[in-house]
Amino acid sequence: MNAPPVTPLLQVEDLRCTFDVSKPWLNRLIEGEPRRSLKAVDGVSFDITRGETFALVGESGCGKSTVARLVVGLYQPDGGRIVFDGEDPAQLDAARRQKLRRRFQMIFQDPYASLNPRWRVDRIIAEPIRVFGLMREDAQIRRRVAELLTLVGLSPADGTRYPHEFSGGQRQRICIARALANNPEFLVCDEPTSALDVSVQAQILNLMKDLQDEFGLTYLFISHDLAVVRHMANRVGVMYLGRLVEIADSRTLFEQARHPYTRMLLATIPDISMSGQARPAAQGEVPNPITPPPGCTFHPRCALADERCRREPPQLLPAGPARHAACHAVQEGRDAAPALRHDTD
Amino acid sequence: MNTQPHNRATPAVPPDEPVHTPSLLARMLDSDLWHSFVRSPVTVVSAVVALLYVLAALCAPLISPQNPFDPATLDLMEAFTPPLQANAFSGRTFWLGTDAQGRDIFSAILYGSRVSLLVGVAAVSFAALLGIGLGLMSGYLGGWVDALIMRIADIQLSFPAILIALLIFGVFKGIVPPELQDRVALYVLIVAIGLSDWVQYARTVRSSTMAEKNKEYVQAARVIGVPAPLILLRHILPNVMGPVLVIATIGLALAIILESTLSFLGVGVPPTQPSLGTLIRVGQDFLFSGEWWIVLFPGLALLILALSVNLLGDWLRDALNPKLR
């Protein structure tokens, strides 16, 4: 710790979000069923430093998209805090919250659903400018929209067309242009490339990296694709059933994962060198999040699980330099055993 | 990897230069809707008929041979003249004959269509406005607002529309002083028909809204803090209007028939502004005495109007349904 302490741009502390998945009131009454709730996010904490890309990875249903939606305020948390540059949006009045909103934006997963099919592209991109009242004159807004379209690699003439006239990759470029329209500092990207062809994915990811360099953007990057995360992220958080199981620098994580779940995920990456080594297949399935297993929620799938893991949920604790892990086996040093052989070298 | 993989060197168009786009008319003539319209002869015919009808009703004072509701132009001696036969006293010929007061049936139909169309269009607009508003709220807000609106809709749907319209009309007769009744009856009729018909708009809009509100373009608007009423108005409404258009067209035919039914039953428009339904009711008194034309022609007029609008609605429903394309 020789660098001066910097306040992170985004602090997430003990974030919790529960969804009510019970049947309607009348059905519950007749069938005698209790209320059911799903802990989508269960005590997640992380910091994002200005200018970095923090990625959240995990299988589908682990709550990573819920975290993204909580951060931008689409869902209300049931517990915990989200602090953006020292300010908690939940504590602010409407006018100041709107001022804070100007500083972040979101890019969505499905470029076919994230653009209003009845709006022309220039109106879509101009919407944030108008909503935040950044420019008043139409000519000024038109110039800015043309500039944004050029910035993301489209032609200013594309502004007069409708979204259905564009391909998936082009639509995602339009989404990025809209996200940049209010000059945000922080972008939440919820699986921005998972709906795209692999060749187009690379273009979009590179565009996002270029824009990050050019404008000093900070990204919260949600993805289930480890290869994409490795390409994009400085730091990575691995989520499992609503909890963070490991946070580490990208290089540390991909070179030497410690949490058994992270190791299992990494073992599923296709091996291009075809070393011929037998790789362990991902074992088991994600349990039902409505009735998660007691103790460490990963224990039914974990080769290292013992009595303590079945009983006591592990805390996210430091485990070596630039790394936190929530695992009893890691804390106790039991993970050295070759429980999962995923090393390809 | 960061060596400008995407094409930044797009041909730079000066942003202020107007970009050429095809005109609205050109785009309409090239749309799927227009092509499917032209390919269906039944639809083209019914569209032409409906259009002629609207034009005739609008220009009734200009094209009708007499003003059937101005007593000064009527001659009792010309009563009960059969169609296309010269009247024994005045020698005048009436295309569709005359009624008990010597009124030209053709003129009466033109004026009656005016009232029928006016009530139909106004009632459908009222029902659509109410239904769309409640449906948007119900679908977007969910929870108890949704439950309340939808249960009211369910209850109303369990009664026939005509019963509800009759009920509203009965209440109106009870509370409005008789000397005012003739003057406001038309508006009450519009409200009564509209109130009996809002449910299907509300249900359709609600289900579309529930599908649209979870789409990411709506979330994108919420992220930047667009207020809910504006999201509903600017983002969701344009995307749920397709089915509403279909219901409104078919609903227009139904509203015209409902209005005629009410007028036929004697609770509709006052006799001073007769609609097609009033003409039919008046005409049926003479059916057994052999003056068939007094009831037949207004009935045919109503049939043709309702049929052509209904066929248009059917076509629109099929044309806008992507599964049938």
Closest CA relative to residue B275, chosen from B253, B252, B259, B286: B259
Percent of chain B with pLDDT over 70: 92
A65/B contact by beta carbon, under 8 A? no
| 3-state DSSP assignment of residue B177 | coil
With left for phi above 0 and alpha for psi between -120 and 50, is residue B142 left, alpha or beta?
left
Beta carbons of B58 and B81 less than 8 angstroms apart: no
Least confident of A33-47, A307-321, B169-183, B250-264: B169-183
C-alpha span between B43 and B309 (Å, rounded): 10
pLDDT reported for residue B81 = 83
Closest CA relative to residue A247, chosen from A49, A3, A38, A2: A49
Residue A62 neighbours by CB under 8 Å, 6+ apart: A239, A240, A241, A242, A286
Strands A218-223 and A53-57: parallel
C-alpha span between B89 and B33 (Å, rounded): 55
Long-range contact pairs involving A18-26 (C-beta distance under 8 Å, separation at least 24): A18/A78, A21/A290
CB atoms near residue A70 (< 10 Å): 24
pTM of the model: 0.82
Instruction: State the nearest Cα–Cα gap between A156 and chain B, in angstroms.
Output: 7
Q: What is the H or E stretch that residue A325 is in?
A: strand A323-325
The whole-number average pLDDT for the span B238-245 is 90
Taking contacts as CB-CB distances below 8 angstroms, the residues of chain A near B239 are: 116-118
ipTM of the complex: 0.88
Between A282 and B39, where is the model more confident? B39
- Residues 132-151 in A contacting B (C-alpha not used; CB under 8 Å): 132, 139, 142-143, 145-147, 150
CB hemisphere CA count around A212 (13 angstroms) = 23
Taking contacts as CB-CB distances below 8 angstroms, the residues of chain A near B26 are: none
Residues B74-100 pLDDT 10s: 888 888 888 888 887 887 888 888 888
Residues B168-198 pLDDT 10s: 888 888 888 888 888 888 888 899 999 988 9
The encoded tokens of residue A332 equal: 């106790």
Q: Which amino acid is at A37?
A: S
A128 vs B5, B12, B224: nearest CB: B224
Least confident of B108-117, B227-236, B277-286, B304-313: B277-286
* Per-residue burial over B45-59, b = 16 or more CB atoms within 10 Å of its CB, e = otherwise: ebbebbeebbebbee
pLDDT reported for residue B9 = 43
Quick check: A276 pLDDT over 80? no
**What share of residues in chain A are helix, strand, coil (percent, to 5)?**
35, 20, 45
CB atoms near residue A211 (< 10 Å): 18
The encoded tokens of residue B222 equal: 């919420």
Beta carbons of B216 and A108 less than 8 angstroms apart: yes
Look at chain A and count its residues.
Answer: 345
The secondary structure of A93-130, three-state, reads CHHHHHHHHCCEEEECCCCCCCCCCCCCHHHHHHHHHH
| 3-state DSSP assignment of residue B205 | helix
The CA R_g of chain B, rounded to the nearest whole Å, is 26
Interhelix angle B143-157/B105-141, nearest 10 degrees: 150
Confidence of residue A279 (pLDDT cuts 50, 70, 90): low
Residues A302-340 pLDDT 10s: 888 889 999 999 999 998 888 999 999 988 888 765 444
Closest CA relative to residue B253, chosen from B314, B209, B182: B314
pLDDT reported for residue A206 = 95
Least confident of A25-34, A71-80, A124-133: A25-34
Taking contacts as CB-CB distances below 8 angstroms, the residues of chain B near A186 are: none
Beta carbons of B276 and B255 less than 8 angstroms apart: no
- Using alpha carbons, list the distances in angstroms from residue B272 to B3, B4, B28, B123: 82, 78, 43, 20
C-alpha span between B155 and B250 (Å, rounded): 23
**Subunit contact A108:B10, Cβ cutoff 8 A:** no
The CA R_g of chain A, rounded to the nearest whole Å, is 22
pLDDT reported for residue B83 = 86
Confidence of residue A2 (pLDDT cuts 50, 70, 90): low
**Subunit contact A146:B222, Cβ cutoff 8 A:** no
